[in-house]
Amino acid sequence: MDEMTRSVSDMYTRFPYPSPTKGRRKYKELSNLLAVFSLESGVDLGGKKILDAGTGTGHRLAEAALMFKDTSFTAVDLSQASLAVAKATAQEEGIRNVEFRIHNLLDDDVRIGIFDVVMSMGVLHCLADPHRGLRNLVKNIADAGIVFLYLYGKLGSRERMRRKQVVATLLRHQVDFDCGVQMVKDLGFALDEYGWSYKNDDEATINGMIVDAYLNVNDILYDCDDIHNLMAQSGLRGYAIYGITTQDSGWFFDTAASGPNGILPRTTNVAQFLKTDLLRDAYAKLDVRERYRLFDLLYQPNGYTVIGFTDRAVEHLPADHRLVRNAIAVR
């Protein structure tokens, strides 16, 4: 195991994410994502196989497994400590449709299985080699399968990175989680960003969130061009940004000039920025990649949910579907 993977493993062994405490926490991000995807694509997830790569303590997966009882989930992680929490929760909640396995995503030789959906949420950023990790994941996708990734955003993480640097400087760039957690608390650096909010959480969970946000030993950030480069080397056919998170909110993503017109409750709306014919005409001339760049600048995401497509994945979607409209081919 390389030095960076060892450090990441040590960090999550000491501070399993998202919580070292077993039991349901109603973290609904994953179950909501799958429910909305199934609804808007018409894909029935019953009987399908889903991989959660880097499941951590599995609190998000537990909600998905309870919602999709006829779906088979496999959950892998590098951290034995995290999987122990996930297994305890599954046992307590009578969850029988998840198989847990220790696995290093950077291990090129072991194929985990063949899955209709591969999810890896908030994981690639802490891999020693995210490109390799994603290429390995792609080897596990079935024909016409898809991948979901959650990646941390460069433009929306500037304040968090500034605070992280303050703490790192005070720690003289040494890894000291206990002292660092106390410094974050003493400095009054709240976890006020979407995705890290800790209302009603216990102290151990809060400390883990602080480590993840402010003391993470590997924290690779992405903008839309970095995402393009990642996907271009993945072996996938193409991708689309599925959703973004900003400082205090989450949005489904659509570059349509006219703004949202679908069933989704909260969708990005470029029309609100394009109030004149001059702006609307200029926007109409942009291709999808340029539109992605403009959205980066307008919304400054602190995170992206990305959907990756195998060769045959988009065949099932109508041509005017949001995901087809916003897709970018990389092969």
Ligand X SMILES: C[S@@+](CC[C@H](N)C(=O)[O-])C[C@H]1O[C@@H](n2cnc3c(N)ncnc32)[C@H](O)[C@@H]1O
Query: Which residues here bind ligand X, judged by CB under 6 A?
Result: 5, 8, 12, 17-18, 54-56, 60, 77-79, 82, 103-106, 121-123, 126-127, 212
State the nearest-atom distance from the C-beta of 95 to ligand X, in Å.
16
Please provide the DSSP assignment of 249-310 as one string: EEEE----TT---SS-SSB--GGGT--SHHHHHHHHT--HHHHHHHHHHHH--SEEEEEEE-
Residue pair 196/209 in contact by the 8 Å Cβ criterion: yes
State the nearest-atom distance from the C-beta of 123 to ligand X, in Å.
4
Pick the closer one to ligand X by CB: 79 or 255.
Answer: 79
State the nearest-atom distance from the C-beta of 17 to ligand X, in Å.
4
Pick the closer one to ligand X by CB: 112 or 314.
Answer: 112
State the nearest-atom distance from the C-beta of 15 to ligand X, in Å.
10
Name the residue number minimizing CB distance to ligand X: 56
Residue type, 316: H
Helix (H, G, I), strand (E, B) or coil at 178: helix
10 Å CB burial of residue 264 (0-12, 13-18, 19+) is middle
Residue type, 327: A
Rounded to an integer, what distance in angstroms lies between the CA atom of residue 116 and that of residue 316?
14
Pick the closer one to ligand X by CB: 15 or 292.
Answer: 15
Pick the closer one to ligand X by CB: 56 or 180.
Answer: 56
Pick the closer one to ligand X by CB: 8 or 141.
Answer: 8
Helix 177-187 / helix 203-214 crossing angle, nearest 10 deg: 90
Q: Which of 147, 159, 173, 161 is nearest to 52 (CA)?
A: 147
State the nearest-atom distance from the C-beta of 60 to ligand X, in Å.
5
